[in-house]
A and B are shown apart, each in its own frame.
Chain A
Amino acid sequence: MKRSKWRAEEHRAYLTLVLPAILIYWAVMAFPTVFSVALSLTDYNGGRLFSSANPVHFAGLTHYVRMFSDPYFWISLKNNFYIIFVSVFGQIPLGFILAYILFRKLVKMPGFFQTMIYLPSIISTIVVGILWQSFFSPYGPFSEFMQRFKPGWENTLFINPRTAMLPVLFVVLWMYTGTYLIIFLANLQKIEPHIIEAARIDGASEGQVLKYVILPALSGVIVTSAILAISGSLQSFNLIFAMTAGNPARRTSVLSLYMYDNAFRGAPDYPLANAISTFMVVISFALILVTKALEGRFGGRE
């Protein structure tokens, strides 16, 4: 008798504790994601839903076909790949090397250098974007420096579609390397110090310690970081929005900006925007599967 009363209270308490979070999260994230996939398969483009005056028709994969045949989709996807490339082959190796230098105390004042490298990721993205846009613009220091080396040099960085992406990629590297430094440093500090000391006493060189002690201990974190860098790069929006807004002629656009442009700039094209975001969700989930597979192989993220 008492037992069942206990169970009933546990049940009530469970609902009280869990329901508020569930309701808000499902309303704001879970449902909209499903809703977006559903909308991408229809011709709904604004106005009231479920009213007879505004009937919604099933459109199949038409919008996906439109998306894949849009040159701007491919430009955006290509730029996403550039950002992924810089993240995986720039931020992560640099972050690792810097973390290693600080961890092994190869310099004086490691705390100061850590702050200096991490500081850029603390500043609001919007400020970073506008600051660097000014920095690389014709009135910024970059032009001044170049003109001192090469008189008459004309700054066309942001006007020339072929170079406009370079400053963006540089800032991506500048801003996020510190985050990986912090992640790697935190994991390096989990390695037992006397394992390294012992290896050194046994005559292992700095390089051998790195190769046989440190890299194996960090392989899981490196793999997870790479996956996170890829999924973060796929979502990059804020920095580019603030820095170039996709210009010139949408040559610095990325998938999320391409989606935003179709939904909120000019005449809205919600079906296409939803198709793009569905494409992004699919890639995201493919990445989760890859992470899981690699985690199994490399032994977790710790």
Chain B
Amino acid sequence: MKIKILLGVSTVLMLVALYMVFIFAPETESGVVQRIFYFHIPLAWIAFLAFFVVFVASIMYLWKRDIKWDAFASSSAEVGLVFTTLFLLTGSIWAKPEWGVWWTWDSRLTSSLILWLIYIAYFIIRSYISEEGQRARFSSVIGIIGFIDVPIVVITIFLWRTAHPRIEAMDPRVTATLMVSIATFTALYFLLFALRLAMKQDEDKLNRLKAFLRR
């Protein structure tokens, strides 16, 4: 039920967002490629939101020791990782026409890359541990440490690379489009998160059943 509502909301928002991004928002001098900005910024925001959910769910797991919190954390981390990957890709696509290279060690891209590596490590470590409780404990610790590291990474890299494109005063149409894009991606995040969580819960039920039958 929840999933159906989320699906409906995301679909409607997605259509509105597409209209606003490609037709409503004014073109800048960089041309059509600039419109990737309406995907790029929301992706960063969602990645951050997703990793914040991982952080909170990790704390909850260590506190309550309920495996449900581990499912929350890992589902959100998966979605967050996908969005970070997309953020890096869109950043790269934007960088090519803008600066003539696919990758620059721009502060935002660099900090996202480090973030991406932290959560890649999160999943690599998960794959190394077979015992469920231990996997949950260890990934919770990484989920907490990783998120605490985020602001430190960002501050350091901004200190390190002070030159980066700043967002100038924006056209109200641009602001409106950006807001709608962010709302759309937030809905999409919750949809993907809910789907992944439902899948994890089914997996978990199946495992319990298996363990019961084996006994």
Q: Do A and B form a real pair?
A: no
Binding site for B on A (CB under 8 A): none
